Amino acid sequence: MTVNREIHLASRPHGWPTAENFRLVEAEVPTPGPGQLLVRNQFMSVDPYMRGRMNDVKSYVPPFALDAPLDGGAIGEVVAGEADGIAPGDTVLHGLGWREYALVDAQGARKVDPDLAPVTAYLGVLGMTGLTAYAGLLDVAAMQPGETVFVSGAAGAVGSVVGQIAKLRGAARVVGSAGSPAKVERLRALGFDAVFDYHDGPVGNSLRAAAPDGIDVYFDNVGGEHLEAAIGAMRAHGRAAICGMISQYNATEPPAAPRNLGLIIGKRITLRGFLVRDHQHLRDGFEREVAGWLREGRISYDETIVDGVANAPDAFLGLLRGENLGKMLVRL
Ligand SMILES: NC(=O)c1ccc[n+]([C@@H]2O[C@H](COP(=O)([O-])OP(=O)(O)OC[C@H]3O[C@@H](n4cnc5c(N)ncnc54)[C@H](OP(=O)(O)O)[C@@H]3O)[C@@H](O)[C@H]2O)c1
């Protein structure tokens, strides 16, 4: 028997998750039935939204079940089964990560060309996080050339792409915030005009220094103090794409900020939450444009890769602690 190693949710966290919330389980590799594919996963994604799915609450995605494998974006090679024009040897993107072998319904798999880009790119810059950046900046916040853009979580998978797309689409000034001096340095190399470490003082002060004339667009990955600072720095008719609020995902008490919400009236600010899944119609245009920038060397992406399914919980916990530069992935 070939052994399939997978990660189960052992218990639900209260506050910060720990290694004890996960369990490594060995199971038999399944056999595909009609319409199914057996995929040897090569890489899986860990993402901040998975923290919300560890709670037993109603949300836009169902919670993870206890004592069952977690799931999420993954890419791998089909090793058995044939359906919907997909056959052994093909590389597919699907939603059953956190395990070495996945039994995937062919309808839930998308064939990708591993010769067009490294397979990891389909989980990051050319995948879900890249589309999130593209859709949030250009569709939700409707950034225009000549505007000033602020992005938080700027050294992460979404944020680093937001800042680069903003520059490529003609932003006058792009400001980023991140959590370490090394990240700040990397963002300067990627072409951000001003970057600050949010640990260095009140975010409002750092943002005022980085964007003395104010901002037109805020891409929010963090929430809390960052959102309050962005509202304070907004010019009239500013727009915020509310993508994520990672500063609050492990909070056990609701946050106090933003305390200056009243400013959105006089400044006529739009705060708009969004989910990438509602922007799939942009996928073709996004892939064409970003793949072109990648080919021309005009956009860069970072990856932090952790090895082995047994270390997937550590990769996820590391992501929440900011141990990643760019996209956090697990090689399986
Ligand atoms: N709406 C959607 O459809 C959608 C889709 C994808 C992602 N998202 C959201 O987008 C955001 C970024 O996701 P991602 O996949 O690109 O993750 P990521 O930014 O690659 O990784 C998470 C980063 O968050 C930062 N962070 C953690 N705690 C923080 C805190 N208290 N304050 C400020 N920063 C903190 C860490 O970097 P530092 O070292 O800089 O702290 C960490 O590296 C998340 O909020 C996620 O939930 C939303």
Q: What is the pLDDT of residues 197-217, one digit of tens each?
A: 999 999 999 999 999 999 999
Q: How is residue 126 written in tokens?
A: 């050319």
Q: Which of 158, 160, 195, 283 to mutate to test the pocket of ligand 1 (most atoms within 8 A of CB)?
A: 158
Whether ligand 1 lies within 6 angstroms of the CB of 182 is answered as no
pLDDT in the model for residue 255: 85
- Per-residue pLDDT averaged across 163-190, rounded? 98
pLDDT in the model for residue 96: 98
Nearest CA to ligand 1 atom 21: 156
Please give the model's pTM, rounded to 2 decimal places: 0.98
pLDDT in the model for residue 328: 98
- Per-residue pLDDT averaged across 240-268, rounded? 95
Matching residue, tokens 């602020």: 150
Please write the tens of the pLDDT for every residue from 53-107.
999 999 999 999 999 999 999 999 999 999 999 999 999 999 999 999 999 999 9
Averaged confidence pLDDT in the chain: 97
Whether ligand 1 lies within 6 angstroms of the CB of 244 is answered as yes
Residue range 128-277, CATH number:
3.40.50.720
pLDDT in the model for residue 242: 98
Residue 63: asked if its preceding bond is cis (omega within 30°), the reply is no
pLDDT in the model for residue 325: 98
Contacts 24+ apart (CB under 8 A), 26-29: 27/3, 28/1, 28/2, 28/3, 28/4, 29/1, 29/2, 29/3, 29/4, 29/101
Residue 3 binned pLDDT confidence (cut-offs 50, 70, 90): very high
Q: 55: which DSSP letter?
A: S
Q: Which residues contact 95 (CB under 8 A, 6 or more apart)?
A: 71, 72, 73, 74, 108
Whether ligand 1 lies within 6 angstroms of the CB of 274 is answered as yes
Of 57, 61, 49, residue with least CA distance to 14: 57
For residue 223, pLDDT beyond 80: yes
Whether ligand 1 lies within 6 angstroms of the CB of 315 is answered as no
Query: Collapsing DSSP states into helix, strand and coil, what is residue 179?
Result: coil
Terminal Cα-to-Cα distance of the chain (whole angstroms): 19
Q: How is residue 287 written in tokens?
A: 């892939």
- Count, residues in the chain: 332
Whether ligand 1 lies within 6 angstroms of the CB of 16 is answered as no
Whether ligand 1 lies within 6 angstroms of the CB of 225 is answered as no
pLDDT in the model for residue 2: 86
Whether ligand 1 lies within 6 angstroms of the CB of 318 is answered as no
pLDDT in the model for residue 39: 98
pLDDT in the model for residue 69: 97
Residue 254 binned pLDDT confidence (cut-offs 50, 70, 90): confident
Residue 262 binned pLDDT confidence (cut-offs 50, 70, 90): very high
Q: Which CATH number fits domain 3-124+301-331: 1.25.40.10, 3.50.50.60, 3.90.180.10, 1.10.8.60?
A: 3.90.180.10
For residue 1, pLDDT beyond 80: no
Nearest CA to ligand 1 atom 38: 179
* Beta-bridge mates of residue 327: 303
Nearest CA to ligand 1 atom 44: 244
Domain ranges of the chain: 3-124+301-331, 128-277
Whether ligand 1 lies within 6 angstroms of the CB of 47 is answered as yes
The CA-CA-CA angle for residues 318, 199, 234, to 5°, reads 110
The span from the CA of 153 to the CA of 257, in Å, is: 17
Nearest CA to ligand 1 atom 29: 247
CA of 150 to the centre of ligand 1 (A): 15
Domains 3-124+301-331 and 128-277 share a fold: no
User: Are 99 and 41 contacting, i.e. CB atoms less than 8 angstroms apart?
Assistant: yes
pLDDT in the model for residue 294: 95
pLDDT in the model for residue 17: 98
Whether ligand 1 lies within 6 angstroms of the CB of 293 is answered as no
Nearest CA to ligand 1 atom 41: 179
For residue 281, pLDDT beyond 90: yes
User: Are 69 and 6 contacting, i.e. CB atoms less than 8 angstroms apart?
Assistant: yes
User: Are 2 and 36 contacting, i.e. CB atoms less than 8 angstroms apart?
Assistant: no
The span from the CA of 129 to the CA of 16, in Å, is: 23
Residue 36 binned pLDDT confidence (cut-offs 50, 70, 90): very high
pLDDT in the model for residue 256: 81
The span from the CA of 272 to the CA of 274, in Å, is: 6
C-alpha distance from residue 251 to each of 52, 126, 273 (Å): 11, 31, 20
pLDDT in the model for residue 257: 81
Whether ligand 1 lies within 6 angstroms of the CB of 250 is answered as no
CA dihedral 266, 177, 271, 50 (to 10 degrees): -160
Strands (E), the chain: 3-9, 22-28, 36-45, 74-80, 91-94, 101-105, 110-112, 148-151, 173-178, 194-197, 215-220, 234-242, 270-273, 303-307, 327-331
CA of 221 to the centre of ligand 1 (A): 5
User: Are 260 and 232 contacting, i.e. CB atoms less than 8 angstroms apart?
Assistant: yes
Whether ligand 1 lies within 6 angstroms of the CB of 242 is answered as no
For residue 219, pLDDT beyond 90: yes
- Per-residue pLDDT averaged across 187-203, rounded? 98
